[in-house]
Structure 1
Amino acid sequence: MARTESNMLPLGTTAPDFKLVDTVDDVTKSLQELKGTTATLVMFICNHCPFVIHVNAQLSQLAKDYVSKGINCIAISSNDVENYPQDHPDLMKKNAIDNDYIFPYLYDQTQDVAKAYDAACTPDFFLFNSDLILVYAGQLDDSRPGNGIPVTGKDIRAAMDALINNNPVNPNQKPSMGCNIKWK
């Protein structure tokens, strides 16, 4: 399992817009229609990465805990499905259902969205405020497969809570770590 750190898109960056197909309902959706009123968490994930599998339950719970607070989550898979067929959109839909995702799971077939976000790994997290300005680009928490640290989502939860409470988000952020995005 290759360990790749996120590239840490600079804070203050405006969220790159996109229109991608949601693999659950086969409807094309845009960032503008999916964004939250308080914040938007864009997550680059995939089906097969052990780092994502390790946090899937927390991703599902995170969305459930924060949607009522105006924070919407959006998951995107940008992996090359020709060489990694387990990340195919049909299997993305099954994965979303199996993991009880209440957020859209979008397919970035061209990989243009991942490039626009400078995404490097799965999972890779980008939290934008209500104006779609990046306020957090970092890890979910300190847990990794096999390190014995519980998955809590504490780092992202702290950033989300700061936004909800109109407090500044701590600028000291640790990069996410996971499998590299499978580029074509």
Structure 2
Amino acid sequence: MAFVLSSMMELGKKAPDFKLLDTVSGKSLTLSQLKSDVATVIFFICNNCAFVHHINPKLVELANKYQALGMQFVGISSNDIKQFPQDAPVFMTQMAKYQKYPFPYLYDEYQEAAIDYGAECNLDFFVFDKNLACVYTGRFDMTRPSIQPATGTDLSAALDSILAGENVDSNQYPSMGSSIAWKRGVPRKNFEMYY
């Protein structure tokens, strides 16, 4: 699987709505049901990516910390399960339990959420304010697998600014991870066909 940089959402853009299966609860959930009146963190991950495995413990730690402060974390997997069967919902459920994910882990079967958000890779983060306007997009931190421990510094800084009632620093960096495994023929955001 190729490693790619995220394309980064335009700051101020409204969070696209979705209705996706939560592999933890077994219910279909929408953004309007999940959003927080403080901040909502939407991120694209999967079961098989080394970048995701690398940050999982710190991601869980930060999710527990900031959700206790009124924020909402939402994980989404958009990988084509024909290419990567280990990313099927049944295994997402197992991963969520094993990692003790404190957030919904949603299955984007038709990859519409990934397209709407402009997600390119597994480890792609989007933070939205109480009005669901994008205030942060990009990386968790500058870490890479086998290089240094994950800290979540970049994401934490954005969330701390929100809690302090300050503007999030607009100097942001793209994330890097394994490319989302696109289905053949899925129209990308540039309206070309991906093969």
TM-score (norm 2): 0.92
Question: Within 5 A, what are the aligned runs for 1:34-183?
Answer: 34-147=34-147, 149-183=148-182
Unaligned stretches of 5+ in structure 1?
none
The letter for the 2-side match of 1:135 is: V
Q: CA separation in 2, counterparts of 1:146 and 1:59?
A: 17
Residue 2 of structure 1 deviates from its aligned partner by: 2.7
Q: CA separation in 1, counterparts of 2:146 and 2:151?
A: 15
Q: CA separation in 1, counterparts of 2:36 and 2:119?
A: 21
Q: CA separation in 1, counterparts of 2:160 and 2:74?
A: 18
Residue 76 of structure 1 deviates from its aligned partner by: 0.3
| Aligned-pair Cα RMSD in Å | 0.8
Identity of aligned residues (%): 46
Q: CA separation in 2, counterparts of 1:115 and 1:108?
A: 10
Q: CA separation in 1, counterparts of 2:82 and 2:174?
A: 28
For structure 1, which segment, 72-81 or 28-37, has the greater mean C-alpha deviation from structure 2 after superposition?
A: 28-37
The letter for the 1-side match of 2:157 is: A
SS at match of 2:96: helix
Unaligned stretches of 5+ in structure 2?
184-195
Post-superposition Cα deviations, 1:156-175, rounded to whole Å, max 9, x if no partner, equal: 00000000110010000010
Q: CA separation in 2, counterparts of 1:97 and 1:49?
A: 17
The letter for the 2-side match of 1:16 is: P
Post-superposition Cα deviations, 1:68-100, rounded to whole Å, max 9, x if no partner, equal: 211100000000001110100000000000001
Q: CA separation in 1, counterparts of 2:70 and 2:11?
A: 21
The letter for the 1-side match of 2:143 is: S
Q: How many pairs align?
A: 183
SS at match of 1:182: coil
Tell me which stretches of 4 or more aligned residues in structure 1 moved more than 6 Å.
Answer: none
The letter for the 2-side match of 1:82 is: K
Post-superposition Cα deviations, 1:104-129, rounded to whole Å, max 9, x if no partner, equal: 00000000010000000001000000
SS at match of 2:79: coil
Q: CA separation in 2, counterparts of 1:62 and 1:33?
A: 21
SS at match of 1:92: helix
